[in-house]
Amino acid sequence: MADRYLTFTGTAPGRFLTRRLGLPQPAELRRWSAERPGLDGGLLHLTAGKSDLDLPPVLARAGLGEDETGRPAAVVVDASGIRDVEGLAEVHAALHPVVRSVAASGRIVVLGAPLDPADHHQAAAQQALEGFTRSLGKEIGRGRTVNLVRLTDARAAESTLAFLLSPKSAYVSGQVIEVGGHDPVVPDDPDRPLAGRTALVTGAARGIGEAVAETLARDGAQVVVLDVPGAEQDARRVADRLGGTALPLDITAPDAGARIAEALPDGIDVLVHNAGITRDRRLVNMSAERWIQVLEVNLASVLRTTDALLSSGSLKQGGRIVATASIAGIAGNAGQTNYGASKAGVTGLVRCLAPRALAEHGVTVNAVAPGFIETKMTAAVPLFIREAGRRMNSLAQGGLPADVAETTAWLAHPASGAVNGQVVRVCGQSLLGA
């Protein structure tokens, strides 16, 4: 369903009226397209404190030249060397003169360091960057985003910086992403980084799952479209369009993992847990059946299938698991105790399994946590609730399935091996939760 309010605020009368009434003024976001794959403008690289990061070659490969206009499309502030409260003044000094000049739909990325458990002054200063970043994201406006990346090695963060400094991250703001030390895998074809890899997407016959399958196929993956037998016709339609294969299967079946392994004897490089359902009721009115259905599809099947595919070796070395969490599992949502529990469970799975899966199987485990995404399901939400969902984020609009798909594709990228155990919210920096 079209966002008429967003369209209206893009007109002269709409801008005048919303400004006078103090109403949200969302800006149309620049998203990736084949015709315009990058941001329009250059990059401004600033440093606060003393840094040991070798950033220039990594930033050059992000596709943005040096800004020469005074209106940068992106600003990267390297604050990884900040170790005390006094050093935070350098962050202010670096950004204060330029923040107003950042182009519409521009990007600000602050680089920080992991918190040093042996130095509470450094830890306090680096944690302060999180509050700074989230706050700036809520005030900067005009479709611009602000994110924090904690890293120790610029090369390991190359895929992350390329994502955050591109139109692909249009609906990702106010996030803190930790990147470990890991030698990146450089794909042969940067435009098709998943070429030669097999990606299985559950719940892929429609909606967000279909968008994820489409984006992974664009990036070169051989996509397997998994959905329930009742959606087989839609699944085959999507698979045929993408040059992939359909796999009709109830993901809640006890032997689903074994049947996937049997159907894909050559293994899987990317596993995307997207299948999910809602059965909303307040707890006082929720039957045991509604509770069990949601927990079974959204969480239990994810656990069983992941365990089966890891133990069988079906997930290849260097593989990627990307699960779908939700801001409902982070902030909670009235009428969704079952859904919120299931999605919070996904977050627990990711954070606990990630280090072990990487050490034992060479597989990373991450999650995307969508906020209000414009789908057929949200189009059926009552008008006032729908409008609240759209406006209650820093970008004052709903996201698109493509926003979740692009974030998934970044986490699935061969060069994203240093990103592990992360839950990245795709919510326009929702005002709900952190």
Sorted by sequence, the CB contacts under 8 Å of residue 348 that are 6+ apart come out as none
Which residue of the set 339, 358, 365, 423 is catalytic? Answer: 339
Could you give the 3-state DSSP secondary structure of residue 307?
Answer: helix
161 Cα distance to chain centroid:
13
Q: How far apart are CA 220 and CA 242, in angstroms?
A: 10
Residue type, 158: E
Q: How far apart are CA 330 and CA 175, in angstroms?
A: 13
For 255-292, the DSSP string reads THHHHHHHH-TT-EEEEEE-------B-GGG--HHHHH
Q: How far apart are CA 65 and CA 105, in angstroms?
A: 17
Which residues, in sequence order, are bridge partners of residue 44?
Answer: 75
8 Å CB contact between 27 and 141? yes
φ/ψ of 238, rounded to 5, equals -65, -45
5 is catalytic: no
8 Å CB contact between 321 and 361? no
For 364-404, the DSSP string reads EEEEEEE-SB-SHHHHTS-HHHHHHHHHSBTT-S-B-HHHH
Burial class (CB in 10 A: 0-12, 13-18, 19+), 80: buried
Instruction: Tell me which residues are annotated as active site.
Output: 339
